[in-house]
């Protein structure tokens, strides 16, 4: 969503590196680049002016002029100002003290309200609530049916007394849902209303009537993040016509420039509360301004990644794998590797997961071109192995690799590559689990061949000489061993040692060595 903005800001900050002090010209040039980047991202002009003005004012202040690294201070200022225009702090739902909490959804046609209603219901269910969906969108064809299907998928009750498709009174449906929720002991009611246009006075009046009938604790305005600056105009017209308490952004995974997300909170004064960033019903979460600002500045979103991992990962399996890697619970096998890979798949697409890591903006093109089916191919190769082969990959020889490749429909080279990478990855993970650092990385503790000299230089390893060759025939090998013993017994004593406590004649030993004539003086 924010790829263009992130790239432009990264290029801007790159020009500041290496400067000990920032001149007035540097600050003006940086502010100009930030302004262009925000305008290209479809951020509303008033928001751009306010943002750039705040950055310039703080950049001229003492916090930068006295800083050791002005470039990092500018990034810090931009990050803090981004958090401010995104709403400042995370805004959470307000729940009613008595009776069911009523949440009303409103927004434009096609903004994704019906799907988002199911996503919100699933999210509340995971929070320990008992939500009920209300089909009050009786205008759009099959809107009621869509909500019923989505409600069934997430395991949430749907209140739909009217068939919809232009039939029924949405105000009466909304009013009746409150009594139904009390009767069936649901503590949250989510009312899905009909989509409308900003200029549609009749539907605006209908939304106001529903609001008055159910007295919602939260009115959420659902807006498509891909509609650009027009989102601000629409948000303002809804605020004047219906009123709302918070904003929900949908389609944040799209390829639009994302100006709506940066504009709505600042223009309307209403916080962005939730964000939907995918097609799955689980692709929904609270909107955190600080995390979104970090993503824009390519600082990653590790906190969200950790939270998703905590929800998706099986802690018992993870502990078992960690014990195996540390050498306490047996050997880490291909079965364990497959289990860990399946756990990661629960987090979502690999490109989305990797995109949450800091500094991955520079690899955006590679992430976008990543083939998600590659994980399925790896899984197919592993599952084509026998249990014994998965438990002990060292036994997979050439004929077994050919059979595995034939069983999963891949090439033998694919099987070879997987097995080789598994051994390398296992070695690296075991090294890290035991606290030995990264294998093969210079300067890291626990590296093979790393010496403890004064300057940290590696000690040269002595090459081992080849031993005497032995015959594969046992009888012949015994004869060779006996001959070696006889030869050792007949050999002269070692001139530099005293085996058996015997006295050595060093002059005779020197003569036996055939040293040069003038070398004898060094033996005295």
251 marked ligand binding residue: yes
Q: Is the pLDDT of residue 225 over 90?
A: no
456 marked ligand binding residue: no
**Whole-angstrom Cα Rg for the chain:** 35
Q: Do domains 3-85 and 101-299 have the same CATH topology?
A: no
Domain 101-299 CATH superfamily: P-loop containing nucleotide triphosphate hydrolases (3.40.50.300)
250 marked ligand binding residue: yes
What's the rounded Cα separation, in Å, for the pair 121 and 129?
Answer: 9
194 marked ligand binding residue: yes
Domain residue extents for the chain: 3-85, 101-299, 307-433
- pLDDT of res. 463: 45
Domain 3-85 matching CATH 3.30.200.20: the answer reads: no
Mind listing the pLDDT tens digit for each residue in 292-336?
777 777 766 666 666 666 666 666 666 666 666 666 656 778 888
What are the start-end ranges of the E strands in 7-125? 101-107
Q: Is the pLDDT of residue 363 over 80?
A: no
97 marked ligand binding residue: no
- pLDDT of res. 83: 85
Query: Could you give the angle at which helices 289-296 and 70-85 cross, rounded to 10 degrees?
Result: 130
427 marked ligand binding residue: no
What's the rounded Cα separation, in Å, for the pair 305 and 315?
Answer: 16
11 marked ligand binding residue: no
Mean pLDDT to the nearest integer, 436-440: 45
What's the rounded Cα separation, in Å, for the pair 7 and 480?
Answer: 73
333 marked ligand binding residue: no
92 marked ligand binding residue: no
Burial, 517: exposed, middle or buried (Cβ in 10 Å; 0-12, 13-18, 19+)? exposed
253 marked ligand binding residue: yes
What's the rounded Cα separation, in Å, for the pair 299 and 294?
Answer: 5
168 marked ligand binding residue: no
515 marked ligand binding residue: no
Q: Transcribe 193-237 into DSSP letters.
A: PPPB-TT-HHHHHHHHHHHHHH--SEEEEEEETTSTTHHHHHHHH
114 marked ligand binding residue: yes
Q: Which residue has the higher pLDDT, 244 or 449?
A: 244
131-135 and 188-192 beta bridge pairing: parallel
Walk across the sheet containing 218-224 and list its strands.
157-159, 131-135, 188-192, 101-107, 218-224, 246-250, 272-276, 284-286
Out of 185-189, 362-366, 511-515, pick the least confident.
511-515
Closest CA to 246 of 223, 226, 224, 218: 218
- Give me the CATH topology for the region 307-433: 434 Repressor (Amino-terminal Domain) (1.10.260)
Q: Is the pLDDT of residue 118 over 70?
A: yes
């Amino acid at each position: 969503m924010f790829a263009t903005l992130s790239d432009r800001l990264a290029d801007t900050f790159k020009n500041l590196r290496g400067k000990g002090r920032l001149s007035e010209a540097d600050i003006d040039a940086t502010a100009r680049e930030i302004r262009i980047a925000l305008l290209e991202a479809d951020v509303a002009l008033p928001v751009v002016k306010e943002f750039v003005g705040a950055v310039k004012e703080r950049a001229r202040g003492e916090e930068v002029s006295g800083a050791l690294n002005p470039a990092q201070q500018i990034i810090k200022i931009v990050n803090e100002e981004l958090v401010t225009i995104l709403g400042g702090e995370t805004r959470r739902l307000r729940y009613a003290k008595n009776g069911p909490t009523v949440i009303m959804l409103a927004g434009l046609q096609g903004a994704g309200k019906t799907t988002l209603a199911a996503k919100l219901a699933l999210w509340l269910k995971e929070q320990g609530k008992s939500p009920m969906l209300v089909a009050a969108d009786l205008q759009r064809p099959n809107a009621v049916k869509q909500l019923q299907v989505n409600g069934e998928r997430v395991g949430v009750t749907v209140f739909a007394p009217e068939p919809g498709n232009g039939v029924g009174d949405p105000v009466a449906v909304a009013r009746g849902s409150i009594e139904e929720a009390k009767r069936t002991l649901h503590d949250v009611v989510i009312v899905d209303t009909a989509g409308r246009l900003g200029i549609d006075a009749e539907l605006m009046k209908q939304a106001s009537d529903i609001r008055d009938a159910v007295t919602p604790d939260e009115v959420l305005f659902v807006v498509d993040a891909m509609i650009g600056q027009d989102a601000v105009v629409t948000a303002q017209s809804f605020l004047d016509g219906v009123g709302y308490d918070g904003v929900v952004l949908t389609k944040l995974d799209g390829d639009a420039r994302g100006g709506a997300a940066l504009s709505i909170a600042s223009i309307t004064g209403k916080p962005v509360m939730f964000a939907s960033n995918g097609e799955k019903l689980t692709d929904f979460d609270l909107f955190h301004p600080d995390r979104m600002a970090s993503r824009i500045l390519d600082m990653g979103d590790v906190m969200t990644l950790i939270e998703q991992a905590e929800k998706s990962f099986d802690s018992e399996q993870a502990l078992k794998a960690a014990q195996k890697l540390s050498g306490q619970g047996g050997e880490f096998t291909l079965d364990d590797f497959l289990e860990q890979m399946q756990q990661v798949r629960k987090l979502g697409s690999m490109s989305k997961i990797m995109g949450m890591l800091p500094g991955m903006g520079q690899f955006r093109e590679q992430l976008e071109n990543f083939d998600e089916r590659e994980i399925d191919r790896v899984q197919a190769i592993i599952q084509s192995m026998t249990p014994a082969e998965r438990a002990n990959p060292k036994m997979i020889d050439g004929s077994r690799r050919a059979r595995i490749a034939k069983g999963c429909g891949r090439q033998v080279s694919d099987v070879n590559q997987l097995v080789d990478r598994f051994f390398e990855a296992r070695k690296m993970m075991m090294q890290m689990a035991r606290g030995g650092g990264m294998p093969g990385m210079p300067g890291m503790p626990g590296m093979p061949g790393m010496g403890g000299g004064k300057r940290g230089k590696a000690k040269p390893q002595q090459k081992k000489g080849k031993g005497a060759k032995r015959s594969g025939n046992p009888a012949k090998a015994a004869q060779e061993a006996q001959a070696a013993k006889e030869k050792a017994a007949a050999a002269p004593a070692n001139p530099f040692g005293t085996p058996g406590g015997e006295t050595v004649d060093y002059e005779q030993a020197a003569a036996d060595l055939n040293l040069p004539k003038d070398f004898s003086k060094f033996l005295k």
